[in-house]
Amino acid sequence: MPPERPPQSSTSETIATNRRARFDYAVLETWEAGIVLTGTEVKSLRDGKAQLTDSYGIVKDGEIWLLNLHIAPYAQGNQFNHEPTRTRKLLLHKKEIRRLIGSVERQGLTLVPLELYFKDGRAKVKLALAKGKQLHDKRQDLKEKDAMREVARVFRKR
C-alpha cells in the first residue's frame, strides 16, 4: 500500500491566452487537456514564450492533435531544440475524445484552445468546442459590450 500524500492545493500559472477566440467563436463547451511536450518546450513555456493565436485542434485516427501552437525555441537548447509549430498530441479520456469526435465531424464545430497554463507542474490547455461567429454576431457582441460599459459608467457616477 503506497503512503498517503498530503493534499495539494491546485495552483495554476497562466502562460498564454487566446483572446481572439472568444471574439471569433461562440464557445459551447470547454475541456482541460494535457499536452505531450519535449524538454525544451517545457523550459520555453516556463519562460512564457508561447502563442495560441492561430492554433486549432483536429481529430485524426481517434486522437486529438493541436496544430500551429507556437512555442519559441529555448535559448539554451542548442541542437536539441524543438520545431516551434510542430503538431502536438492532446491527452484526454477516451469518453471525452469520442464526444469531441462526434461534435466535430457531425456538427461541423471547431476545437479552439483558449488558454495554456501549468497546473500542479504539468502543462495543460483549455480546449473549447466552438462554432464560428458571423460578422453580424460579432457586431451584436460589440454593441452589447458598449451598452454594458455605458450602464457601468452611469452607475459609477451615482
Instruction: Find the domain containing 92 and state its range.
Output: 13-133
| Mean pLDDT across 54-83 | 88
Question: Is 107 part of any domain?
Answer: yes
- Is 148 within a domain? no
Confidence of residue 118 (pLDDT cuts 50, 70, 90): very high
Rounded average pLDDT over 86-108: 87
The pLDDT tens digits for 1-16 are: 555 655 555 677 889 8
Domain count along the chain:
1
In a domain, 149, yes or no: no
Q: Does any domain span residue 65? A: yes
With a cut of 90, say whether residue 114 has pLDDT above it: yes
Q: Tell me the CATH number at 61.
A: 2.40.280.10
Residue corresponding to grid cell 512564457: 48
Q: Please state, rounded to an integer, the average pLDDT across all residues of the chain.
A: 86
Domain assignment of residue 90, yes or no:
yes
Q: Let me know if residue 17 belongs to a domain.
A: yes
Domain membership flag for residue 139: no
pLDDT at 33 over 80: yes
The reply to whether 122 falls in a domain is: yes
